[in-house]
Structure 1
Amino acid sequence: MASLRKAVELRASALMVDVRRTRDDILVIEHDAVRMVDDREVPIREKSLADWRARSADTDSPIATLEDAMAVAAQAGIGLILDFRESGTEALLARAIRQSRFSLDSILVTGADATSRTILRGLDPRIPLGHTLGPENASQINAKLLAALDVDAVTWHHRLLTPPIVNILHLRDIRVYGWYADLAEDMRRLRDTCKVDGVITNAPDLIRTI
């Protein structure tokens, strides 16, 4: 939560969080699938929200919920990118988005595989969905993929993005976000050469300077 508030302070246009669920089906924002408990790794989904809150309250990273993140973004009037981390929780996510009353124009669900995207489309076709690729997936980018993408945006590793690829995606009205660009030269290339719609970074203080 401290990181999200700092990003707001630095005038980020959107916040990106990883979404997982607890044993009692509460969606939390957590990058890793496990946390250390008594020197052993315990999956987030094996304990309730109350249990995680009790265990993490006095640490430097207390557990936070998706609702908490939505409240920060909504109060700041900025967007929210949800990196969907667990298949099987599509209904929980769709319900949380509906109940939050968060503007769908300001939200993007990314990270989901093709099956999860199909399920989410069926649950609520209004939810904007994204397609994610990491640097190890360069071989997947071809004309067939670019023509077949049925998403509102892509969140691809910045090394995968070139001006021709971005141009093709823009012609299909697909927004393009490059991640994680944490060096000034990568940020400038995405902005000036590739002309992406947004840069996802762990260094918002640096991107603010350029």
Structure 2
Amino acid sequence: MQPLIIAHRGASANAKENTLSAFERAIAFGADMVEFDVRRTKDRVLVIYHDAEVNDKPIRKLTYSELHVLDPDIPTLTEVVDLCKGKIRLDVELKEAGYEKQVMEILRPAFDAESMVVTSFHPFAIRRIKQHYPDVKAGFLFGHGTVKFCKSFRLNAKSVRDRVREMRADFIAPNWQLLSHSLLSQVVMGDRPVWVWTVNDEPLMTDLLGDRRIQGIITDRPDVGMQIRAAQPDAVLTGRL
């Protein structure tokens, strides 16, 4: 099975990231999934934005109305669900822990377990999703900060592997630069499927599309990813998550 092509914050090489326009472009390109970041405002509105702050003001301390004044392009999760329902599958990154139930209450009426995954850097968020929504696949994001955390607490590969198993993550999603990192290879390679981010280089994308370890490729350029995948010989894509 060839890897899924997942539009990182929408087709963010072609439109402003994490906006309805970027998601519309991803849909038009035929991407398998769209990835986006979820945060929550002071008045508990779930919004799509990567950074914790807008114009140096924390989103968690702003009401949605105040946030909308600062950047009117920031959509709500409800708006994204309405746009994407029946058109594309979702890769939902929880940027914080603690609002998992609220997120799922918006997602579940429109998307079944086969139409979405949830990812996070926060083990608590992954554990809570798997505890309350075991049918939904969840992925633990693995970045350079994760490696630094493991080293600072002197966690060996077995300790990290045990933690990943404890949170019941269905797959690991590392930064592409960490694919050859010794810790990552000892922790997850061969143990769980791998989704890799953020791959924009065409030769690298071509190589990863032929790598049996990789189940998903998250990219700012889903149009390019789809073209490369379609051009590969004996292309097979089952559509399974």
TM bucket (normalised to shorter chain) is 0.7 to 0.9
Counting only pairs closer than 5 Å after superposition, residues 72-87 of structure 1 correspond to structure 2 as 72-76=83-87, 78-87=88-97
Cα distance in 1 for partners of 2:174, 2:227 equals 23
Instruction: Report the residue type matching 1:129 in the other structure.
Output: A
After TM superposition, give the deviation of residue 137 of structure 1 in Å: 4.1
Cα distance in 2 for partners of 1:146, 1:198 equals 21
Q: Does 1:121 align with 2:130?
A: yes
Counting only pairs closer than 5 Å after superposition, residues 1-210 of structure 1 correspond to structure 2 as 1-36=20-55, 41-57=56-72, 62-76=73-87, 78-98=88-108, 100-137=109-146, 142=157, 145-146=160-161, 148-149=164-165, 150-161=168-179, 165=185, 168-169=190-191, 174-210=192-228
Cα distance in 2 for partners of 1:178, 1:70 equals 24
TM-score (structure 2 length as normaliser): 0.71
Cα distance in 1 for partners of 2:145, 2:131 equals 30
After TM superposition, give the deviation of residue 144 of structure 1 in Å: 5.6
Deviations 1:124-159 (CA, angstroms, capped at 9, x unpaired): 333321111014545868356456532122211123
Residues paired across the two proteins, number:
195
After TM superposition, give the deviation of residue 167 of structure 1 in Å: 5.9
SS in 1 for 2:79: helix
Cα distance in 2 for partners of 1:146, 1:188 equals 29
Please tell me whether the aligned partners of residues 138 and 160 of structure 1 are also in contact (alpha carbons under 8 angstroms).
no
After TM superposition, give the deviation of residue 24 of structure 1 in Å: 1.3
After TM superposition, give the deviation of residue 46 of structure 1 in Å: 1.6
Instruction: Report the residue type matching 1:159 in the other structure.
Output: Q
The answer for unaligned runs of 5 or more in structure 2 is 1-19, 151-155, 229-241
More helix per residue: 1 or 2? Answer: 1
Aligned CA-pair RMSD:
2.5
In structure 2, the CA distance between the partners of 1:128 and 1:159, relative to structure 1 (3 Å rule), is same
After TM superposition, give the deviation of residue 82 of structure 1 in Å: 0.8
Cα distance in 1 for partners of 2:60, 2:143 equals 25
Cα distance in 1 for partners of 2:222, 2:128 equals 33
Cα distance in 1 for partners of 2:80, 2:219 equals 17
The answer for unaligned runs of 5 or more in structure 1 is none
